Copies of this chain bind each other. A is one copy, B any other.
Amino acid sequence: MGRPRAFDEDEAVQAAAELFATRGYEGTSVDDLVTGLGVHRGSLYKVFGSKRGLYLTALRRHLDQEVLPLAAALGEARDLPAVLAQAAAGYDGGRAAGLLLFAAAERAPSDPDVAALVEEGFAALDRAIGRVLSASGDPAGGSPDGPAGVLAATVLGLRLRARAGVGGPSPVAVAALAGRLTG
């Protein structure tokens, strides 16, 4: 009963994720969200409670629908160079690229809830790369504080360079370096 909702909640969250991923949390105003999502102010606050609530929802969705599935797919692979090159090129298909990155740099230091989500995303990347390393016969591959964490950082750093848009290593160079570790 009651008046039916005139917008799709998941679509709105996804659109919000793209805005936040592009301009960051502080750089995205509620007006931007209202315009970009086509959802009225009052409705946003009724559903998500606050700008921060919408942000957390968007980040949660980003993890569930983009990061974790890709991490799972990476973990199935056996070829480390290909995995790293692919992950660095676009861990989420470019849809909301940068949300996790931005969350880590901008919000996590001062927002524990964001930090928890960021940690979850990082851990998923660690595990996926660790699985590939273990499958390649790497003895320390599965360790939490092993090479997997460092390589996950490499993926993040490559995406940061790509985001800054100032040029950086090509996928070939990434694959070449990864080849040295396995070969």
**A contacts, CB < 8 Å to B:** 22, 24, 26-27, 98, 101-106, 108-109, 115-116, 118-119, 122, 140, 145-147, 149-158, 160-161, 163-170, 172-174, 176-177, 180-181
Given contacts A27-B26, A105-B101, whether A150 and B173 have CB atoms under 8 Å apart is: yes
A102 cross-chain contacts in B, Cβ below 8 A: 105-106
A108 and B27 CA atoms in complex are apart in Å by 13
Partner of A156, one of B24, B115, B160, B165: B160
What is the total number of copies of this protein in its complex? 2
Instruction: Flag if B169 contacts A104 (CB, 8 Å).
Output: no
Instruction: Flag if B152 contacts A157 (CB, 8 Å).
Output: yes
Instruction: Flag if A177 contacts B147 (CB, 8 Å).
Output: yes
Given contacts A161-B153, A165-B115, A169-B150, whether A106 and B105 have CB atoms under 8 Å apart is: yes
